[in-house]
Structure 1
Amino acid sequence: MSSPRSTTRHAWWVAFLAGMVSYLDAGAIVSTGTALVLYGQAFGFGIETIAPLSSLLTFSIAAGAVVGGVVGDRIGRKRTFLATLSLFVVGAAILAFSPGIAWLYLGIVLLGFAAGADLPVSLAMVAEAATDDNRGKLISFSHFLWMAGVIAVFLLGTVIGGLGELGARILYGHLVVVGLVVLVLRMRLPESQAWKTTTTLVAVEGAPRARELLKPRYLAALVATALFYSLVNIAANINGQFGSYLYVEVAGVSVSTSSAISLGIVLVSMAAVFFMMRVVDGPRRMVWFAVMAAVSLVAFLLPATLGVTVVTLMVFGVLYSIAGAVAGEPMYKVWSQELFPTSHRATAQGITIAFTRVVAGVVGLWIPSLIAFGASAIFFLMAATSLVAFLIGILWIARMPKATDDDPALRPAYDGFDPFVDTDTDAAATQR
C-alpha cells in the first residue's frame, strides 16, 4: 500500500519525465531556427531552403501528433513514448552529424514526427498519474518545462552562436544528450494504471475505437478544444516566429538587444506558470481565465493602436507572457485531459495538436505580407483570433462536463469505478 505522500512524489516524477517532451519540443523548434542559419552559411543555402525546412518541421510535428495519439491509446503510454523518444534521439543525431542538405531533410522529418507523436501520449500519462486535486497543476508544469527548453537553447546560442557549423551541431547534440538521459529514466516508469485498467475493462477487440470521438459529446469537446487551441496559438506562434523581426526591422534595435529582452520576458512567463499552477485546480479557475483573457487583449491592442515601438513591444511582451500562462496553451492542455476518457485521451489530443500546428503553419505563410502592409495589423489579427478563442473557452468549453471512464456511450457501466482513484488510500472516493 502506497502512502499519499509517495503517490504525490511519483506523480511529480512522472510529470517531470513525461513532461520533458515539452522541453525537447521547444528545444527542437528553437534550435532549428538558429541551426539552419548556421548550416546555411556552411552548406551554402539561404532562405529558399530554410523556409521549407522550417515548414517541414511544423507539418512533421502535426503528422506525428495524430499517429502518436492513436498508437498511445492502442498499445499504451510507456511503449509509445519510449519509441517516440528513441526516434527523436535518432533524428537529432542525424541533424547533429549531418554531412549535407539532404540529411537535414531526413533529420527534420524524424525530429518533428517524434516530438509530435510524444506530446499527446506524455500529457495523457501525466494526467493519469495525477489526482483530481493536482491534475491541472501537473499538466501546467509541462509548460514550465517547455519554456525551460527555450531558455536553455537561448543561453546555449549566446555561447556557440559564433562557431558557425560547429555551433549548429552543438545545438542538436544538446538535444541528443538530453533525449538519451530522459529515455533511460523513462524506462523505469511503470505503465499508466488508468490506461491498463481501462484497457482491461473496455470490451473492444484490439484497440479503443476512435470513431467513438464522433459521438456528439466527444465531438463537441474535440471541435471546441481544437478551435480554442488553434486560435489562441496563432498569437503565440506569430510572437515566437516574428518577435525578433519586429524588434530589429520595425522597432530598430539590435539583435543582441532583442535577444536580451526576449530572454527577460520568457523568465516572466515562467513565473506566471507558477501562478497558473496555484489556481488551475481551484474553484476560481475560470475567473482568472477571464481576467487574463482581458489582459491579453489589452496587450495586443497597445502596439496595434499606439504603433510598434520598443516600448510597446516590451509592454506587450510582459503582459502577454503573464496572461498567456493562464488563458493560453496551458489551459488547453488541462481541458484536453478533463474532457476525454482515458481510452481516447491521447487520440483526441493528437488530433487537436495536429490541427493547431497546421493552422499555425498556414497562417505563418501570410504574416510577412501582413507586416509589409503594416506591422500594427498583425496585432489586430492576434487580438481578433484570441478574442474568439477566449469566448469559446468561457461560453463553451467551461460548460462542458468532465469525461468519466464509465461513460455508457463508450462501454457498459462498471459500477462507477474510477481508475483515477487510488482505492488503497481513498476507498471512500470510489463510492461515487
Structure 2
Amino acid sequence: MNVGNHKRLTGWKATAAVSMSNYIDSGSIIAIATSLGFWGAKYFPGDDGTVAGLLAAFSSNAFGAAIGALIGGPLCDKYGRKFIYTYDLLLYALGGLLVTFTLNLPMLFIGFVVIGLAVGASVPAGWTYIAEFAPPDRRGRHVGATQLAWSFGPFIGFGLAAALSPLGLLGSRIIFAHLVVIALVTWWIRQGLDESKAWQDSKGGRGAKAPSMWTAFRGLFSRRANITALLFLAAIYTFWNQAASQNGIFLPTILGHMGWGTLASDLFSMLTWGIVIIATAVYMLLVDRVSYRWHFFIGGVLAIASWAVLVFGPSTAAATAFGYALLWGLSSGPSAQAFYSVWSPELFATPYRAGAQGIVFFVVRLASGLISLVFPVILAQQNGLLKDGLILIGFLLASTLIGTIWAPKTQGKPLEEIEIERYGEIVSTRAIDAELHDELVSATDTSTTSTKE
C-alpha cells in the first residue's frame, strides 16, 4: 500500500513507532475495564457478571488477541514485518469506531473482537521487529520501550476515565475515540519503517518467495530447541499473565468490593500505573546490565508479595490497597511479560520468530480469556477475592520458579550467535555469506542447545 512519501524511521524513532502497538493494546483493555459498568447499564442491565465476563474474554484482553496473534504471527514471517504494519492499525481503528458509535450489545461485542484481532496481530510483530534491528548490547532496552508504552496505556486510560466519569457512557465513547485517532496517526507514521533486514535475508533478499506458513510451522516444531523454548516461554508468561490480566481489567471491580467509588478507583489505578512507568524505566536501564536470572527473580517475588498483601491485608484498609499498588507496580518493571518480550525473539530463528511468538501469545491470551469468564463470578461470591487471589498467587509462584531456574543466557549476544548456540547452525542461511556463516560457527560454543544454561 503506497500512502505517499514518508521520512525513513530508524533507531529510537523506529522503536517508538513500533511500540505504540503496546500503548493501544493496554489502552483498549483499560478502556474496556473502565466502561463495562456504563455499557452494562445501557445495554445489559441486571447482569450477574456473565455478559461482562464474555465481553472481556473476547476482547484484546483475551480471545480476540489470542486469535489475532495466531494468525498474525505466521503472516508476519511469511510476508514480512512491515506487511502487518500496513494493515493492523486500520483494523484496530475499525473496531474502535464500532465501539465508539455502538448502538447495541452485538455491535459492542463485534467491536471488542475486531480490536482484539488487530492487537494480537501487531504485538508479536513489534517485539520481533525491534529485536531484529536493535544493537545486541541494547536490545533489552529497545524492546523494553514496548513495555514503557504499554504502561502509559493504563496510566492515561485511567486518567481519562477519572476526568470523563461525569459524562458517563459518553466519556467511555470519547476514550475509545482517542484510541482510534492514535491508531490512525501511528499507522501513518509507520509507513516510514523499512522492512526488517533479518527477515529479507532469511528469505533470500527482496523479491524472493517466502516459504509457506505450513513449511514454517513444520520447521518450528521439527526442532527440539524450539519446542523447549515454546514450553518455557508459554509457562512463564501464561502463569504471570493470569494475575496481570485480572489486575488490568478487573482492578476497578476489586476496588469496588473494597468499598472504593468509581472516581477514587480510577485515580488509584492511575497511581498504580504511574509506579509501573517508573519501574519500567528503571528496568530499561538495567535489563542489559543485570543478570537476566536475578532480575527476573526480583520481579517475581515482588509480584507474589503484592497479591499476598491484597488477599491477606484488611479488606477495607487504604494501606492494603496502597501496599498492593506499590509492590505490583515495582514488580511490573522486571515482569514476566517484559522478559518474555526480550527472550521470545532471541530464542527463535528468523524464519519462524514471529510465528512462534504468535503461538505463545495465543496460549497466554486464551488462558486469560478462560479465567475472565469465571473471575468476576467468583469475585462476586463470599470471600471471592480470597479464592481468586490464592489461585493467582499460585500462578505467580510457578512463573517465578520456572523463569528463574531456566533463564537463558542470551544477554548482549547478536541474534546470529544465539542461533548458532541453539541450533548448531544459522537456520536462515539463504542470504548469509558462507564465509561469515563458517566464522560464526567456529567462534561459538555449539554445546549449549537448550534454554537452560
After TM superposition, the score normalised by the length of structure 2 is 0.84
Give the counterpart of 1:273 among 280, 285, 305: 280
1:209 correspondence with 2:222:
no
Match of 2:259 among 242, 252, 257: 252
| TM-superposition CA deviations, 1:227-250 (whole Å, max 9, x none) | 11000111112222332233221x
Gaps of 5+ in 2: 1-8, 445-453
| Counterpart secondary structure, 2:203 | helix
Q: Which residue of 1 aligns with 2:11?
A: 11
Distance in 2 of aligned mates of 1:138 and 1:324: 17
Q: 1:283: how far off?
A: 4.4
Partner of 1:422: none
Aligned to 2:331: 323
Deviation at 1:393, TM superposition (A): 0.7
**313-322 vs 195-204, which moves further:** 195-204
- Distance verdict in 2 for CA 1:242–1:95, change over 3 Å: closer
TM-score (norm: length of structure 1): 0.87
Contact 2:94 2:114 in 1 (8 A): yes
Give the CA deviation at 1:206: 4.3
Where do residues 106-125 of structure 1 align in structure 2 (5 Å cutoff)? 106-125=110-129
In structure 2, C-alpha distance between the alignment counterparts of 1:304 and 1:40, rounded to whole Å: 27
Partner of 2:79: 75
Which of 285, 299, 304 pairs up with 2:292? 285
What CA distance in whole angstroms lies between the structure 2 residues aligned with 1:306 and 1:43? 36
1:22-421 alignment runs, 5 A limit: 22-43=22-43, 45=45, 47=47, 49-57=51-59, 58-200=62-204, 205-206=211-212, 209-214=216-221, 215-249=223-257, 251-308=258-315, 309-368=317-376, 370-371=378-379, 372-374=381-383, 375-398=385-408, 404=416, 407=423, 408=425, 410=427, 414=432, 415=434, 417=436
Q: Is the 1:225–1:397 contact (alpha carbons within 8 Å) kept by the matching residues of 2?
A: no
- Pair 281,51 (structure 1): closer, same or farther in 2 beyond 3 Å: same
Contact preservation (8 Å) 1:327, 1:390: no
Checking the alignment, whether the CA contact within 8 Å between 2:292 and 2:409 is kept in structure 1 is: no
Distance in 2 separating the partners of 1:307 and 1:38: 29
Flag the 1:206–1:268 CA change in 2: closer, same or farther, 3 A: same
Looking at structure 2, the residues matched to 52 and 228 of structure 1 have their Cα atoms a distance apart, in angstroms, of: 25
Aligned partners of 2:34, 2:311: CA distance in 1, in Å? 28
Q: Which runs of 5+ in 1 are unaligned?
A: 1-8, 419-426
State the alpha-carbon separation in 1 of the partners of residues 270 and 263 from structure 2.
11
Cα distance in 2 for residues equivalent to 1:280 and 1:170: 36
Is the Cα–Cα contact under 8 Å of residues 221 and 397 in structure 1 kept in the other structure? no
Measure, in 2, the Cα distance between the counterparts of 1:80 and 1:93.
Answer: 20
Contact 1:136-1:277 at 8 Å conserved across structures = yes
Distance 1:81 1:45, change over 3 A: farther
Change (3 A) 1:35 1:306: closer
Shift of 1:179: 0.7
Residue 19 of structure 2 aligns with an amino acid whose one-letter code is: G
For residues 279 and 29 of structure 1, the distance between their equivalents in structure 2, rounded to whole angstroms, comes to 28
Instruction: Check 1:253–1:50 CA distance in 2 against 1; reply closer, same or farther (3 A cut).
Output: closer
Deviation at 1:111, TM superposition (A): 1.1
Maintained 8 Å contact 2:69/2:361 = yes
Q: Which string of whole-angstrom CA distances, capped at 9 and with x for unpartnered residues, describes residues 97-142 of structure 1?
A: 2333332232222111111111111211111120101111111111
Q: Select between 365-374 and 156-165 the one with higher mean Cα deviation.
A: 365-374
- Indicate the percent of aligned positions where both proteins have the same amino acid: 26
8 Å contact from structure 1 (residues 14, 129) kept in 2: no
What CA distance in whole angstroms lies between the structure 1 residues aligned with 2:359 and 2:352? 11
Q: Give per-residue Cα distances to partners, 1:200-238, cap 9 Å, x unaligned.
A: 179964456112221210110011101110001111122
One-letter amino acid matched to 1:239:
N
User: Does the Cα contact within 8 Å between 1:11 and 1:126 map onto a contact in 2?
Assistant: no
- The one-letter code sitting in structure 2 at the alignment partner of 1:69 is G
CA contact (8 A) 1:213 1:222 kept: no
Aligned residue identity for 1:50: A
- 1:421 maps to which residue? none
Q: 1:391 to 1:125 in 2, by over 3 A?
A: same
How far residue 416 of structure 1 moved from its aligned partner, in angstroms, is 7.0
Between stretches 323-332 and 16-25, larger displacement belongs to 323-332
Root-mean-square deviation (CA, aligned residues, Å) is 2.8
Quote the offset at 1:32 in angstroms: 2.2
- Structure 1 pair 244/36, CA: closer, same or farther in 2 (3 Å)? closer
- Hey, what does 2:3 align to over in structure 1? none
CA deviations on 1:243-277 (whole Å, 9 max, x unpaired) are 2233221x323332222222111101100001110
Whether the 8 Å CA contact 2:76–2:125 is kept in 1: the answer is: yes
| Offset at residue 409 of structure 1 (A) | 7.7
Please state whether the residue corresponding to 1:133 is helix, strand or coil: helix
Cα separation, partners in 2 of 1:165 and 1:305, compared to 1, 3 Å: closer
Pair 1:411–1:331, CA change in 2 (3 A): closer
Instruction: Tell whether the 8 Å contact from 1:35 to 1:171 is kept in structure 2 after alignment.
Output: no
**Once the two structures are superposed, what CA deviation does each residue of 1:169-212 show, in whole Å capped at 9, x if it has no partner?**
21221111101100110011111111111111799644561122
Aligned residues: 414
Residues 336-369 of structure 1: CA distance to partner in whole angstroms, max 9, x if unpaired?
1211122211111111111011111212333345
Shift of 1:55: 1.8
Residue 151 of structure 1, CA deviation: 1.8
| In structure 2, distance between residues paired with 1:339 and 1:233 | 20
C-alpha distance in structure 2 between counterparts of 1:185 and 1:287, whole Å: 37
Q: Distance in 2 between matches of 1:361 and 1:392?
A: 23
8 Å Cα contact 1:38-1:167 kept in structure 2: no
Paired residue type of 2:34: T
Distance 1:297 1:39 in 2: 33
